[in-house]
Chains A and B, each alone.
Chain A
Amino acid sequence: NAGVTQTPKFQVLKTGQSMTLQCAQDMNHEYMSWYRQDPGMGLRLIHYSVGAGITDQGEVPNGYNVSRSTTEDFPLRLLSAAPSQTSVYFCASTYRPNTGELFFGEGSRLTVL
């Protein structure tokens, strides 16, 4: 029972490089989301999706792109990484977004030099 799987767990990038953080869930959840966690800032919502083909912006969407071509996958793309994007990224999913009960992945730690 894998739940929410994030890859990679760790990544170091140089400023200006691009990369994709992968997120997959095997619970058939329609709702998926990405958060970033920074010291003193808590968890901030980047993007979310209520189903395949539908995405929307969260609190801090700038610098990130998402797409949702399947129910299972919700990749997060950084097109041109900046040091301000150094953070721990968490993907989450749920079958009931109105109740807020999210299932989280273990996180991906990204460092941008």
Chain B
Amino acid sequence: DQQVKQNSPSLSVQEGRISILNCDYTNSMFDYFLWYKKYPAEGPTFLISISSIKDKNEDGRFTVFLNKSAKHLSLHIVPSQPGDSAVYFCAASAIDDKIIFGKGTRLHILP
């Protein structure tokens, strides 16, 4: 049973516009939610996180929103830039120290 779900395998966004990536989860006991970015032939890199007690965290062009009642989080990138083209993974840390990832969303920034 998938605990962290990213239902959109891919997303295309025009350069300069807002990119919104979505993630749903099933486990109410997750402590932190995170987004990772991955380029081909490289390991994932941490992008931004949010504690389960908050509903928004912002870092430059990146903002993560958490809706606990809906068990949903989203990553907003604004404005989108060509270097943002990558695979984005949603992840969550559980009380038993497991860090669980979703299947990823491939973001294409169009010129």
Contacts and interface: CB of A to CB of B under 8 A. Distances in A.
B66 to A, nearest CB: 13
A56 B9 CA distance: 30
Contact of A45 (B33, B46, B99, B103): B99
Contacts of A101: 34, 46, 49
Using C-beta atoms within 8 Å of the partner chain, give the interface range for chain A.
20 to 34
B8 interface: no
Interface string A66-107: 000000000000000000000000101000011111111111
A35 B97 CA distance: 14
A90 B91 CA distance: 15
A105 B103 contact: no
Nearest to B101: A43
Interface in B81-110: 89, 91-93, 96-104
Contact of B43 (A44, A56, A58, A107): A107
Given A40-B9, A99-B32, 9 more contacts: A31-B97, A40-B103, A43-B89, A48-B98, A98-B93, A99-B49, A100-B31, A100-B34, A102-B44
